[in-house]
Amino acid sequence: MSIAVALDGPAGAGKSTIARRAAAALDFIYVDTGALYRAIGLAATRGGIDTDSADEIKTLLSSVTVDLAFNDEGEQVVLLSGEDVSGLIRTPEASMMASKVSAIPVVRAFLLDLQRNMAKSRNVIMDGRDIGTVVLPDAQVKIFLTASPEVRAGRRYKELCEKGMDVKYEDILQDVITRDYNDSHRETAPLRPADDSILVDTSELDFEQSVEKIISVIKEKI
Ligand code: DC
């Protein structure tokens, strides 16, 4: 039987980089479900869709396909109606649009089977917001990865400064707090730890320590 690790948590906790490394060490595949919401967001932007219109969203969903594939390096590739959009979905605009479409119930329903199928026959670490609670409620390992808002904002601040952007720490912290509130208070699949999840707080851990911690939690459970 294949093993599923559900990895949920707020934005900026380091889920994707930590999970990618842990998956490589364990020889699991890594599935980033946020990319699916981003692909739908991109399709909505391209189609000039009003995300407040249920009809427009439904029409959009009936006209596109979203798929995940893996390239020769084992990296996830996201296909929107067959087109590789993996790079295009990483812009700030795409993040904003992904956040909007991810709050729409029909969008979540549309992506559910695809996510479940990814975990059917392979060992996976699946990263998202509702993996342990909704997508894979029977996952053998459920981890809720978090860090304090201050630490997450600090990491983001450093990243943006390194890219030469002129940003204020206080603004970023406020963004993090607002986003946490929105994610955990939305009606559909709000961000919350599954009852049987293990909480891992990376506030006091560096990257390598975080990877080690995740691997040891997984190994203990399987
Ligand atoms: O993890 P990310 O930033 O790539 O996610 C993009 C958006 O999709 C983000 O607003 C949260 C949302 N999302 C979600 O609602 N459920 C998931 N399983 C994954 C992401």
Enter the pTM of the model.
0.93
For residue 179, the ligand 1 atom closest to its alpha carbon is 10
Give 129 Cα–ligand 1 centroid separation in angstroms: 6
**Ligand 1 proximity of 156 Cβ (cutoff 6 Å):** no
- The domain in which residue 47 lies consists of 4-221
Give 37 Cα–ligand 1 centroid separation in angstroms: 6
**Ligand 1 proximity of 38 Cβ (cutoff 6 Å):** yes
The whole-number pLDDT of residue 214 equals 98
**């812009």: which residue's tokens?**
91
* Joined tokens for residue 64: 């596109």
Looking only at the bridges linking them, the beta strands covering 29-32 and 124-128 are parallel
The whole-number pLDDT of residue 199 equals 97
Contact 13, 202 (CB under 8 A): yes
Task: Tell which one of 7, 20, 30, 33 to mutate to probe ligand 1, the residue whose CB is within 8 A of the most ligand atoms.
Answer: 33
Q: What is the count of structural domains for the chain?
A: 1
Give 164 Cα–ligand 1 centroid separation in angstroms: 26
**Ligand 1 proximity of 130 Cβ (cutoff 6 Å):** yes
| H-assigned helices in the chain | 15-26, 34-46, 54-63, 92-101, 105-118, 149-162, 169-185, 207-221
Q: Is the dihedral of CA 28, 34, 40, 45 positive or negative?
A: negative
**Ligand 1 proximity of 128 Cβ (cutoff 6 Å):** yes
Coil, helix or strand for 86?
Answer: coil
- In this structure, the residue with its CA closest to atom 18 of ligand 1 is 128
List the Cα angle 98/109/57 in 5-degree steps.
55
**Ligand 1 proximity of 37 Cβ (cutoff 6 Å):** yes
Q: What is the CATH number of the domain that holds 13?
A: 3.40.50.300
pLDDT tens digit at each of 222 positions of the chain: 899 999 999 988 989 999 999 999 999 999 999 999 999 999 999 999 999 999 999 999 999 999 999 998 888 999 999 999 999 998 878 888 998 999 999 999 999 999 999 999 999 999 999 999 999 999 999 999 999 999 999 998 998 899 898 999 999 999 899 888 888 888 888 899 999 999 999 999 999 999 999 999 999 999
- In this structure, the residue with its CA closest to atom 8 of ligand 1 is 34
CA gap 105, 109 in Å, rounded: 6
**């995300």: which residue's tokens?**
51
For residue 102, the ligand 1 atom closest to its alpha carbon is 15
CA gap 145, 138 in Å, rounded: 18
Task: Tell which one of 85, 110, 129, 180 to mutate to probe ligand 1, the residue whose CB is within 8 A of the most ligand atoms.
Answer: 129
The whole-number pLDDT of residue 99 equals 87
- Enclosing H/E stretch for 197: none
